[in-house]
């Protein structure tokens, strides 16, 4: 016999977790949504933050605000440290929670194909911290190129490599090219643009 008030635990408030919480219409069910952040990040626009086209708050919205019309959904900020499928429990940093149904919507992470040392030179673009780090690197490269004493030094600082030709990589490369054309020509006086077809 089915429980009258089943408890559904959702791990992750990305597109999958949020969509589940918005579409799940079992009136008697209690839903608890866990995420490590208190905001939902619109990842397709991270490249805009990384290239100074948007600010971080423009692509991050509070999870509680998004789900404010769902009274059966409780949003909790916590780190999941493990789970026991047989016992139907989720271990958190400070407590353990039982569930009747478990939804995994944890998203993905950048893979370095067994070479974690690459991360220092090629950061991923999955979080706001990633985007802000890339933005710092790009803008600092502009400053270093402006201070370079000859064209070869400028060219070295203005050589930016994007690895990956999926939607994010293509958008990021195009935004960097646009940033180079607009910002470099307007704000940097000592630098000559690389002689490449943008």
pLDDT in tens, 14-61: 999 999 999 999 989 999 999 999 999 999 999 999 999 999 999 999
Reported confidence tier of residue 193, pLDDT bands at 50, 70, 90 = low
pLDDT per residue as tens digits for the range 90-146: 999 988 999 999 999 998 888 888 999 988 888 999 999 999 999 999 999 999 999
Of 41-45, 62-66, 75-79, 106-110, the least confident: 106-110
From the list 79, 83, 111, 86, the residue with the least C-alpha distance to 97 is: 83
List phi, psi (to 5°) of 84.
Answer: -130, 105
Reported confidence tier of residue 197, pLDDT bands at 50, 70, 90 = very low
pLDDT at position 167: 93
Asked if the model's pLDDT at residue 152 lies above 70, the reply is yes
Annotated active-site positions, please?
171
Domains of the chain by start residue, with CATH: 7-104 (3.50.50.60), 116-187 (no CATH)
Which long-range CB contacts under 8 A does 158-164 form with residues at least 24 apart? 158/191, 158/194, 159/194, 161/122, 163/122
Reported confidence tier of residue 196, pLDDT bands at 50, 70, 90 = low
């Amino acid at each position: 016999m089915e429980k009258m008030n089943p408890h559904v635990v959702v791990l992750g408030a990305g597109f999958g977790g949020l969509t589940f919480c918005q579409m799940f219409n079992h009136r008697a069910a209690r839903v608890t949504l866990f995420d490590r952040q208190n905001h939902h990040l619109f990842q397709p626009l991270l490249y805009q933050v990384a290239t100074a086209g948007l600010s971080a708050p423009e692509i991050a919205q509070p999870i509680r605000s998004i789900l404010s019309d769902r009274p059966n959904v409780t949003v909790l900020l916590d780190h999941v440290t493990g789970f026991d499928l047989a016992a139907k429990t989720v271990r958190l940093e400070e407590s353990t929670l039982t569930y009747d149904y478990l939804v995994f919507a944890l998203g993905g992470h950048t893979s370095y194909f067994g070479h974690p040392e690459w991360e220092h030179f090629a950061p991923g673009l999955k979080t706001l911290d990633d985007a802000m780090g890339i933005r710092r690197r790009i803008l600092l490269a502009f400053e270093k190129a402006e201070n370079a004493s000859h064209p070869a030094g400028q060219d070295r600082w203005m050589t930016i490599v994007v690895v990956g030709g999926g939607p994010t990589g293509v958008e990021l490369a195009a935004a960097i090219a646009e940033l180079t054309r607009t910002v470099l020509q307007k704000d940097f006086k000592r630098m000559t643009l690389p002689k490449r077809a943008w």
